[in-house]
Amino acid sequence: MIGIETEYGIYVEGKGAQDLVDEAGYLVKLVPSPTVAGRWDYRQEHPRRDMRGFTVDHLSIDPNDAQFEQTGKPHSTDIEVRSDRVLTNGARLYNDHGHPEYATPECTSLREVIAHDRAGERWMQRLAERRMKQLGAESLVAMYKNNTDFHGASYGTHESYLMRREVPFDKVLEGLLPFFTTRQIFAGAGKVGCEKTGAAFVPFQLSQRADFFTTLASVDTLYNRPIVNTRDEPHADALRFRRLHVICGDANFAEVATLLKVGTTLLVLRLIEQGLAPKTVGLRDPVAAIQSISQDQSLKWCVERHGGGTVGAVDIQRAYLAAAKEHLTGLSPDTDTVLIEWEQVLNTLETDPLSLADTLDWAAKRALLEGFMDAENLSWSDPYLQSLDLEYHNTDPAAGLYYALEQEEKIRRVVTEEEILKALDTPPLGSPRAIVRGLAVRKFPDAVQKISWGGFTLEHEGQSARIRMADIQEREPVALAAALENTKTPAEFIAVLATSPV
């Protein structure tokens, strides 16, 4: 199972940073029925629990963010501020520290997760348009699928992967650090400038998030960010599985970039689980490396390796690719697709990286910016370029620069527009968990209580039943969806789930 959570940047004309917590809440509350509102069960969440076997006392908070979270306007409860909504496609939408966050439902294929990730863009734009109607015709509400406000604040795009519990943490860390440090060469969204304190001038870099990582591994996500996040919050059978929570990626529009970001990570996790990850790619300082790779204007991306000498980011990725080709070829159609795309992109990154403007976000954005600079005789130091950078991420098809590329068919696609529109209100067809959650919300929203990723309670005529997702995640999804679709009452819905599959 895989999923992507994206915090969106928000601009509301006439509002300051101190108003954005409220504004994000207003947006989320505009989700139309049917939906489940305000019933998210936070007792099932444990963000301070570390997969290394301990629980930290507190999480680090960015002092820049903290000053804006106190709006001076009282709220009745934290639940009201969060404004949680669970959607008919099985997704969750809520206010996370002043950013509307869209978390896809659990997906079981790359096409599903790409379609549902992009459905999040459509949801955000719908809500922005509804908010503009509330505020009046002259007001502007803009949503940005990006990771920085260019004033030192970063917000996340997180990925979740189901993996086996018994893999020792040191093997997870050893296998992932070189991979995550170098994955940005195809998964970065591109960025004008640098926000690292004291850094030299950087015209353009690969990743929006690289500036903000300071340590190798920790449970934190908001400040003192790690390359490998150690949050232990499985949302599944905790004895068998962990949910690897990945925070070092950028928000992608380009669908091939998402396919590679998620698909290669899935394959590397399978290698780690089987003890087959390459062992010759250790880095001397991964934190320094993730930033130097992002900022390298030569596009050679060489970093210091553990034990001396240097190694190229492409070479590190090739080591993972070689192991995956040797051990995982034929595992699934998705696997073989990823292996082909991975190799082709690495070949091009090594010889002509800027020719990938039709495939990768960072290359597409750079090509757009360089074309504008040539036309207007601008340099990389012109502050206007950051405004154009931001507009690449605008979710409004009439304003977003990525959408212009898409409309002109200058960017490669993986899924169709029909698949994205279907994902707006339909759960991924390969995911029993998302099917059950989404259909419960669509058919019986008033009966759904205490909902979380791990399950929910259905109440009907004084009776209640707890639905545990761990009990149904291996059910056959098509038959399950058909049976649940035919139910007329919550009691019938519960009965279907209680029936052992044939």
Amino acid letter for position 379? S
Cβ 40 vs Cβ 91: under 8 Å:
no
The span from the CA of 62 to the CA of 45, in Å, is: 21
Cβ-count burial of 445 within 10 angstroms (0-12 exposed, 13-18 middle, 19+ buried)?
A: middle
Radius of gyration of the chain (CA): 22
The alpha carbon of residue 355 and the mean position of all alpha carbons in its chain are separated, in whole angstroms, by 26
Q: Which residues of 301-322 are buried (b: 16+ CB within 10 A; e: fewer)?
A: bbbebeeeeebbbbbbbbbbbe
Cβ 98 vs Cβ 24: under 8 Å:
yes
50 assigned to active site: no
Cβ 261 vs Cβ 159: under 8 Å:
yes
Alpha helices in 70-155 (DSSP H): 78-82, 110-135
Catalytic residue among 62, 65, 84, 96: 96
Token readout for 209 is: 């998030």
User: Do strands 241-249 and 157-164 pair parallel, antiparallel, or not at all (unpaired)?
Assistant: antiparallel
Count of positions (residues) in the chain: 502
Residues forming the active site: 96
